[in-house]
Amino acid sequence: MARGLVDGNGVCRYEQSSYVTIKLIMVCRTAYLKENKSSVHHSDPVEEKVHEAESAAISPPKLDEVKTGCSDKSKSNSHGIEPCFKWTKTHGFFLQMGGFMLYENGQNQHVLGWETLMEYYKAGRIDLSTITEASINDRSKADGFSKGLALLQIVWFIIQSLARFSTKRLALTEIELVTAALAILSLVMYFLWWNKPFNAEIPIFISLCEPDSQSVESNLARKGENFLHIPFMNL
For 230, other C-beta atoms within 10 Å of its C-beta total: 15
The nearest distance, CB 37 to other proteins, in angstroms, is: 34
For 59, other C-beta atoms within 10 Å of its C-beta total: 10
Stretch that binds other proteins, among 48-56, 70-78, 101-109, 214-222 (CB under 8 A): 101-109
Residue 208 touching other proteins (CB under 8 A): no
Residue 104, SS3 per DSSP? strand
The C-alpha atoms of residue 170 and residue 50 are separated, in whole angstroms, by 52
Residue 186 touching other proteins (CB under 8 A): no
**Binding mask of the shown chain, residues 13 to 42, with x at each position contacting other proteins by CB under 8 A:** x-----------------------------
State which of residues 36, 153, 167, 214 lies at the interface with other proteins (CB under 8 A): 167
What residues numbered 66-95 form the site for other proteins, per CB under 8 A? 92, 95
The nearest distance, CB 104 to other proteins, in angstroms, is: 11
C-beta separation of 101 from 112 below 8 A: yes
What residues numbered 131-160 form the site for other proteins, per CB under 8 A? 160
Residue 235 touching other proteins (CB under 8 A): yes
The C-alpha atoms of residue 66 and residue 57 are separated, in whole angstroms, by 9
* Range list of H helices, the chain: 2-6, 10-42, 45-58, 60-68, 72-76, 89-96, 114-122, 133-137, 144-166, 174-192, 213-223
For 100, other C-beta atoms within 10 Å of its C-beta total: 23
**Site for other proteins, rule CB under 8 A:** 2-4, 6-7, 10, 13, 92, 95-98, 101, 108-111, 113-116, 160, 163-167, 169-175, 177-178, 180-182, 184-185, 188, 233-235
